[in-house]
Amino acid sequence: MWLACSNRCGSQLFRALFTEVEIDSEGTYQSHRIVQPGYLCLNCGAPAFDLREVPAEREAELAEDEVADAVDVLCPVCETPVSILPGEECPNCGAPLEVAPGS
């Protein structure tokens, strides 16, 4: 884990949120478990994040943002040139269109 303050205040102390702590009948610490990752900077109170998770989350966002490119094809039914996304039908006649791989 490599935590950093979102305000970039330079703090090295953070508080784990959503943590279950187990103690015995005398109040002595036994163990803990982080239920959901969440951290606060103890210096300024801003949310903190794990820098090791940033590249994986960024890649996931980029994968979600990828949009298929439109392809220009000639409809075999109505013989109209159309620009479609893979899997779409002809906007003029509704005929199913197939896009060749690599087109």
Q: What is the mean pLDDT of the chain?
A: 84
What's the rounded Cα separation, in Å, for the pair 92 and 95?
A: 8
- pLDDT at residue 25, rounded to an integer: 92
Residue 82: other Cβ atoms inside 10 A = 19
pLDDT in tens, the chain (103 residues): 788 898 989 889 998 888 888 999 999 999 988 888 789 999 999 999 888 877 777 777 777 766 667 888 888 899 889 988 888 889 889 888 887 765 5
The pTM for the full model equals: 0.45
27: left (phi over 0), alpha (psi -120 to 50) or beta: left
Domain assignments of the chain as residue spans, ordered by start = 3-65, 68-96
